[in-house]
Each structure stands twice: as C-alpha cells, then as structure tokens.
Chains A and B, each alone.
Chain A
Amino acid sequence: MDAAPPLIELDRLSRWYGSQPALRDVTVRLPPGRIGLLGPNGAGKSTLLKILLGLLPPSSGSGRILGLDLGRSGVELRRAVGYMPEADALVPGLRGAEYVALAGELYGMPPREARRRAHEVLTYLELEDARYRRLEEYSTGMKQRLKLAQALVHDPPVLLLDEPTSGLDPSGRDAMLRLLLTLGREHGKSVLLSTHLLGDVERVCETVLIVHQGRVLLYGGVDEVRARRQDRYRLQIQGDEETFHDSLRLEGVRILHHNGRGELRVAVPAGWQTGSFFALAQRSGVLLRGLLPDDEDLEELFHRTLASNGAAPDTEKDRRYG
C-alpha cells in the first residue's frame, strides 16, 4: 500500500500453540510511521508482538521488520526495537537514571555512553528532577515515561509500545500521546502502538491494524479506513418526522438513531446520491435544516469490523473500549 520500503512485512505468517492457532496466515505490509495494533483479548496481538520482538519464531510463513528476518534475528531485532511493556517492569531499589542506564547497557551500549544517554533521555522526557529518586517513589505517569525512556535510550528506529497510556490520568495521557506524536513526526521514529484505547490510536497513528482470532481483519491508513464508510449521514429536519422516516425506509435508508427532536443518523444504500435527501424531504413536506456526512470514528469502525466477522468484544474492557 506504500512505495516506501515497509517497516513490517509479514507473509502468510502463522503461529500455533500446540493445536491452537494464535496467528493464521497473516499477510501485511506496513509502512514506517505510527501504527495502531488493535484487537480484543486473545486476538493474537501479544503473539504478534512476541514475534516482532524475536522472542517467538513463527510456525510457518515469514516476516521481516526493518529488513530483519523475524525467524532468525532475535538479538538484532530486539536491538533495533525499543519495547515498552505494559506491566511496570521496574527493578526495585534502583534509581531512575540507573534503571535507564542499565537498559542501555543491556541493549549493548558502552557503560559511559549508556549513562550519558540515560540522563539525556530522562531530561528529554522531563524526568530530570526525578533521576536520582528510587523507582518505588515514582508516580504512575512518571513510571510510564520512565518505561518509555528505557525503550528510547539506545535510539531505536522502532518503538513497540504496549498500552503506553495505561493507568494515566487525562492530562498524563494527553502528554504521552503528544510525546509519541512528536517522536514519530519530528524524530522519525516508527511506533507500533498496541492498545485497547481506540482514541489513542486515532490521535497518534497513521495506520491501523485490526486483528481478531489470529487473522487480520483490516489494515490501512486510519483516515483511509474511516473514509471507506461514507454511507452515513446526520440529518436535522423540521416537520412531520414519521412521514419522513417512512419515505427514507421506502428508499432503503436505515435509520440508525433518532432523538425525536428532528435529529437522526441514517445509513444509506450503495449508490445513494446526497441530493436524494432533499427530494425526499420535499416529498414528505419537511424542511431539511442540516445534512452532514457522518464519518465513523475508530471505535465504531472497530466494532463494525468485529461484528461483520461474527465477533463481539469479549471482555468488559473490550466492551468499553473496543
């Protein structure tokens, strides 16, 4: 879908745990940039992340990330990628700067470079005042930024972020999302964001990948996949609503929602011309006061994609966030 060399290229990649498939024939070609990985629990997101980190070999098929073979380049893969885990993953007793410097050394940086870079990254993430504080004393927001710092310390081209805004308050979440945007836009980092929070993906990512039951249901540019669904409108009318509703139904228009005060959302059949609304309104004797295309937000898209594949979000978290 893009002429640039792909960031992630998976070709009929499958992974089985015994007889249980976790990923089935996944074939995608994702360009560098900010990518959102979505899916309900058990969809295969974690398995995909493990494979991308070189922690798990695929059972069949092949894949490459930054040109590195997923089946054979475990160490090189993890060096090219900065991984931010969802869990705290902190080493109690260490101080912030020590923790990030240790991460740098574990990535293979020379000790002095790792220490210097740790201070730089912590300053960059506005944790400079907390550098010498013990990790146990960090707040949730600081911990999230610290985890990002340890993923960023060796300046990887790709960041794999597992629920980076988990547990953050709205302002902390906003700050984190802005940071991710800046990392992507200004510093050229590719970001793979695995999250349940569709709003995060919508705000940060250019590309979205939806997986369910080990299969890719949908992938493409966020705007592009949202625009695929141009069959919904918001209408505002004045006059006899029932007559207008009947006229719409006769033309095959589905009324998704109406509030009884003249506002309604509708889904139109294929080939529908926008001008038809005016003709119907005139015929029904109502005044059409408002007409807006009603683009799906990502949450709706996610639910619709799952529903059209016979799946329903399977946890409370999924029900809330998709």
Chain B
Amino acid sequence: MGEPTGRTGPPQLLHYRPWKGVFRPPFVSVWPIARTGLALLLRRRMFWGLYALGLMVFLLFFFGLYLLAWFETQLGQARVMIGLVPVRPGDLVDLLAFHLHLDGSAETYSNYIYYQGYVVMIVLALAGSVLVGNDFRYGALPFYLSKPLSRRHYLLGKGLAVAAFINLTTTLPALVLFVEYAFVYSWDSFIRNGYLILGILGYGAVLTAVLTPILLATAVCVVRTVPLIMAWTTLFLLCRLLATALVVGLHFDPIWRLMDLWNDAWLVGGACLRIEPDAVEGVQPAWGAAAVVLGGVSLACLSYLALRLRAVEIVR
C-alpha cells in the first residue's frame, strides 16, 4: 500500500475533536427540514413582492374594520363634503360592510382567506420547485434519506413548511382580525362569536390539507418552476373557468363546480365558519360533496408522493 504523495498536500487537520452527545429521536428531524424549506422561501427576493401583496390584503381588512368602527362611532349620520360631492359616511360604511363584509361576521374571515388565497396560490406555484422540486432535480434526496429518518419524516417536514406558510398568510392574520374586531367593537364578541375561531382554524386546516399534498405532488411530478406554474394554473384557474362555463354558461348540474378545487375549499371552509348556504354566491354543490372531492384529491396526491419517494435510490 503506497503512500499518497503530492506537492499540494492534504488538508491540514486543524480542529478535529470527537463529539459526544445524545442524539434526538428521528421525528425531531421534521422541524429542521421544515425550517430549511421556509428559510429558502424567505430568501427569494422575488417572493417579497408577493408577501407585500399579501400584507396589503391583510392591511385592507385590518384598517377597514378599524375605519368602519371609527366612522360608525364618530360620524354617525352626518354628511361630509368631498370636493363638491356630499357624502354620508353611513352609506360608505354600509357599502363596505355589504361588499367586503367588514363586519366581523363569518363572511369577513371567509372573504379574507379567499382573497389572500390568490397570493398564497401564486407563491406556492413559484415555491414548489424551491421546496421540493429541487430536491429531485439536483439529487438532494439521498442527503436527507441517508440520515436516520424515514421518507415519511421527509414528507412531513416539507409538508410542515408548506402548511406553516399557508397558515401564516391566511389563518393567523384571520385570527388577528377576529381579535381586532373584538377589541374595536365589544369584548363579548370573544364569547358570542367564539365558534368563529374554530371556523377560521377549520378553514385553515382545509386549505392546508388540500394545498399541501397537491403542491408536493405537482412539484415532485414536474419539478421545475415554469411547468409547475402551468400545472397549478390548470388546476386552479382553467378548471375554475371550465366549471363556471359549464354550470353558469351551459347550465350543467352544479355538481360540475366540484372540479374547481379552490371553490371546493371555499365551500368547506364556509361550512367550518357556519356560513348559511343561501349566502354562498351562485348555484353551488353541497359542501359535503366538495369535502369528498378534496379528500379524494389529497389522498391521490399522497399516494403518488409515497410511490415517487419509494422509488428514489439513495445509493446508486
């Protein structure tokens, strides 16, 4: 056995010292995976424009609620002149309250999450390749899976990152709006409308349970960003247009709306918030049917993910 020789020399052994410590159980590895995923999302400067857009939606609702309360208490039925136009603040309040439902009702939070959903969808479409697609594209999976954790832990970690992002942009701000309403109007809102907290959490859970597996599955399937955006657009935009065309344009049975997954999530979320079916715009299928469709799609995505991950060769 010869000795290696060379003028460049080896790396000098500077500070190697043994490590003695207690290892933590494998499920703890889920958090570093999720944290890394979130960190990668937050590092993309391009996404910050979208985060700002999401913040604007939140601020619209936040200050909308505040302003309405202020108008109601401060101006009453008085008229104010804006230029030459006399405006009754009460009418403005009614208008905003009617269209945006800035009245602390279930619709307020449902609408907030619905509008915020557009931003979430765009970010997720762009983030899929960063979170998961790149692991497949650049062969990072052996890095994760050769560690003392299973494929399930890897999937949970990535799912947790997506779930954290969804809930940080929808559920958490919606809860802040709920608390704000109670502060601005009356403290007993916490008790009277306490069910809304569960409704908001339920809506967030529905979005998480639906969007997370769909995003992971599409990211694993198409890997790159542009095809992922196309797949995402097809799923959530073209299907929506098609469903609307069929039901509204061609008067097909409302059950065809079930192909619109975002609408399905909205229906089930509305049920969580106990929104009366009459209040749901247009002719809609039952929320139960929407829940079944969403559950089926999620299961199909999870099955696909399990198959794809099982096929990954850690040692090639």
Query: Which A residues have a C-beta under 8 Å from some C-beta of B?
Result: 46, 49-50, 53, 55, 74-79, 83, 85-94, 98, 102-103, 105-111, 113, 117, 120-121, 123-126, 145, 150, 154-155, 162, 170-171, 174-175, 177-179, 181-182, 186-187, 202-206, 222-223
Contact A102 B148 (CB under 8 A): no
Contact B6 A171 (CB under 8 A): yes
Contact A178 B10 (CB under 8 A): yes
Q: A88-B139, A109-B23, A110-B21 are in contact. Are A94 and B40 (CB under 8 A)?
A: yes
Whether B14 sits at the interface, judged by CB under 8 Å, is yes
Chain B nearest CB, measured from A276 CB (Å): 31
Chain A: CB-nearest residue to B40: A93
Contact A103 B147 (CB under 8 A): yes
Q: A91-B143, A108-B26, A154-B19 are in contact. Are A203 and B3 (CB under 8 A)?
A: yes
Chain B: CB-nearest residue to A175: B10
Interface residues of B in 1-15 (CB under 8 A from A): 1-15
Interface residues of B in 22-46 (CB under 8 A from A): 23-26, 28-29, 32-33, 36, 40, 43
Q: Mark B230-255, 1 if CB is under 8 A from A, else 0.
A: 00000000000000000000000000
Chain B nearest CB, measured from A36 CB (Å): 10
Contact B149 A79 (CB under 8 A): no
Contact A222 B24 (CB under 8 A): no
Contact B315 A53 (CB under 8 A): yes
Q: Which residue of B13, B16, B32, B147 is within 8 Å of A111 (Cβ)?
A: B32
Contact B11 A85 (CB under 8 A): no
Contact A179 B10 (CB under 8 A): yes
Contact B10 A46 (CB under 8 A): no
Q: Give me 8 other A-B pairs in contact (C-beta within 8 A), A105-B32, A171-B6 excluded.
A: A50-B314, A53-B315, A55-B315, A75-B26, A91-B134, A108-B23, A120-B17, A203-B3
* Chain A contacts for B140, CB-based, 8 A: 89-92
Interface residues of B in 271-316 (CB under 8 A from A): 313-316
Chain A nearest CB, measured from B14 CB (Å): 5
Contact A186 B130 (CB under 8 A): no
Q: In the docked arrangement, what's the CA distance between A90 and B140, Å?
A: 5
Q: Which residue of B4, B12, B29 is within 8 Å of A106 (Cβ)?
A: B29
* Chain B contacts for A175, CB-based, 8 A: 6, 8-11
User: B interface, how many residues as a size bin?
Assistant: 35 or more
Contact A93 B316 (CB under 8 A): no
Whether B77 sits at the interface, judged by CB under 8 Å, is no
- Chain B interface SS verdict (over half): loop
Q: In the docked arrangement, what's the CA distance between A260 and B214, Å?
A: 73
Q: In the docked arrangement, what's the CA distance between A93 and B41, Å?
A: 10
* Chain B contacts for A109, CB-based, 8 A: 19, 21, 23-24
Q: In the docked arrangement, what's the CA distance between A271 and B141, Å?
A: 56
Q: A103-B147, A105-B29, A175-B8 are in contact. Are A120 and B1 (CB under 8 A)?
A: no
Whether B144 sits at the interface, judged by CB under 8 Å, is yes
Q: In the docked arrangement, what's the CA distance between A110 and B138, Å?
A: 27
Chain B: CB-nearest residue to A186: B13
Chain A: CB-nearest residue to B33: A106
* Chain A contacts for B3, CB-based, 8 A: 203
Chain B nearest CB, measured from A92 CB (Å): 5
Q: List 21 A-B contacts (CB under 8 A).
A: A46-B316, A79-B148, A85-B146, A85-B316, A87-B316, A93-B40, A94-B40, A105-B32, A106-B33, A108-B28, A109-B19, A117-B19, A120-B16, A124-B11, A154-B19, A155-B18, A174-B8, A178-B11, A187-B18, A204-B1, A206-B1
Q: In the docked arrangement, what's the CA distance between A77 and B148, Å?
A: 8
Whether B135 sits at the interface, judged by CB under 8 Å, is yes
Contact A113 B19 (CB under 8 A): yes
* Chain B contacts for A93, CB-based, 8 A: 40, 43, 130, 134
Q: A111-B32, A162-B315 are in contact. Are A223 and B26 (CB under 8 A)?
A: no
